[in-house]
Amino acid sequence: MCLGIVRDVRTVGRNGTLRYEPKELTLEQMQLISDLYDVGDLKKTVRKISIERVPGSPGHSKVRDYIRDSLVDLRWKVEFDIFTEEVPILGSVTFHNIIARHNPHAKRILMLGCHYDSKYFKEFKFEGATDSAVSCALLLNMARALHGEILRNEIGLMLVFFDGEEAIQKWSNKDSLYGARHLAEVWEKEGILDRIDLFLLLDLIGAKDLTFNSLIPRTHNWFQRLVQLEDQLIKTGILKTNRTIFKFITGSDPKDDHIPFAKRQVPVIHLIAADYPAFWHLPEDVEENVDYNTTEQVGLVLKMFVMEYLLSAPTFKPHYVSSNSNGADVLKNYLPLLLGICGLILVLIYRKLNMYRK
Please name every residue paired with 288 in a beta bridge, in sequence order, or none if there are none.
none
pLDDT score of 187: 98
Count of beta carbons in the 10 Å neighbourhood of residue 244: 17
Q: What is the 3-state secondary structure (H, E, C) of the chain?
A: CECCCCCCCCEECCCCCEECCCCCCCHHHHHHHHHCCCHHHHHHHHHHHCCCCCCCCHHHHHHHHHHHHHHHHCCCEEEEEEEEEEECCCEEEEEEEEEEECCCCCCEEEEEEEECCCCCCCCCCCCCHHHHHHHHHHHHHHHHHCCCCCCCECEEEEEEEECCCCCCCCCCCCCCCHHHHHHHHHHHHHCHHHHEEEEEEEECCCCCCCCEEECCHHHHHHHHHHHHHHHHHHHCCCCCCCCCCEEEEECCCCCCCCHHHHCCCCCEEEEECCCCCCCCCCCCCCHHHCCHHHHHHHHHHHHHHHHHHHHCCCECCCCCCCCCCCHHHHHHHHHHHHHHHHHHHHHHHHHHHHHHHC
Q: For residue 309, which of 110, 130, 73 has the smallest C-alpha distance? A: 110
Domains and CATH numbers, the chain: 10-312 (3.40.630.10)
pLDDT score of 336: 52
- Give the pLDDT band (50/70/90) at residue 143: very high
Calculate mean pLDDT across residues 180-205: 98
Q: Among the ranges 113-117, 317-321, 324-328, which has the highest mean pLDDT value?
A: 113-117
* Least confidently predicted of 15-24, 126-135, 184-193, 275-284: 15-24
Calculate mean pLDDT across residues 117-134: 98
Cβ(133)–Cβ(50) under 8 Å?
yes
Cβ(156)–Cβ(103) under 8 Å?
yes
pLDDT surpasses 80 at 346: no
Q: For residue 176, which of 184, 187, 168 has the smallest C-alpha distance? A: 168
- Give the pLDDT band (50/70/90) at residue 344: low
Cβ(104)–Cβ(156) under 8 Å?
yes
The question of whether 203 is a catalytic residue gets the answer yes
% the chain with pLDDT above 70: 85
Q: Which position among 117, 131, 163, 165 bears the catalytic label?
A: 165
**Which tens digit of pLDDT belongs to each residue from 42-68?**
999 999 999 999 999 999 999 999 999
CA pair distance 134, 289, nearest whole angstrom = 11
Q: Which position among 203, 230, 287, 308 bears the catalytic label?
A: 203
**Within 13 Å, how many C-alpha atoms sit on residue 45's CB side?**
31
pTM of the full structure:
0.86
- Give the pLDDT band (50/70/90) at residue 313: confident
Q: Vertex 220, ends 214 and 225: CA angle to 5°?
A: 95
pLDDT score of 151: 76
Amino acid, res. 50: S
The question of whether 86 is a catalytic residue gets the answer no
**Which tens digit of pLDDT belongs to each residue from 195-249?**
999 999 999 999 999 999 999 999 999 999 999 999 999 999 999 999 999 999 9
Calculate mean pLDDT across residues 321-329: 43
pLDDT surpasses 70 at 40: yes
pLDDT score of 343: 56
Calculate mean pLDDT across residues 174-185: 98
- Give the pLDDT band (50/70/90) at residue 116: very high
Calculate mean pLDDT across residues 145-149: 89
**Which tens digit of pLDDT belongs to each residue from 1-17?**
555 444 446 889 998 88
* Least confidently predicted of 25-39, 223-237, 263-277: 25-39
- Give the pLDDT band (50/70/90) at residue 319: very low
Return all residues near 274 (Cβ < 8 A) that are at least 6 apart. 211, 212, 213, 247, 251
- Give the pLDDT band (50/70/90) at residue 317: very low
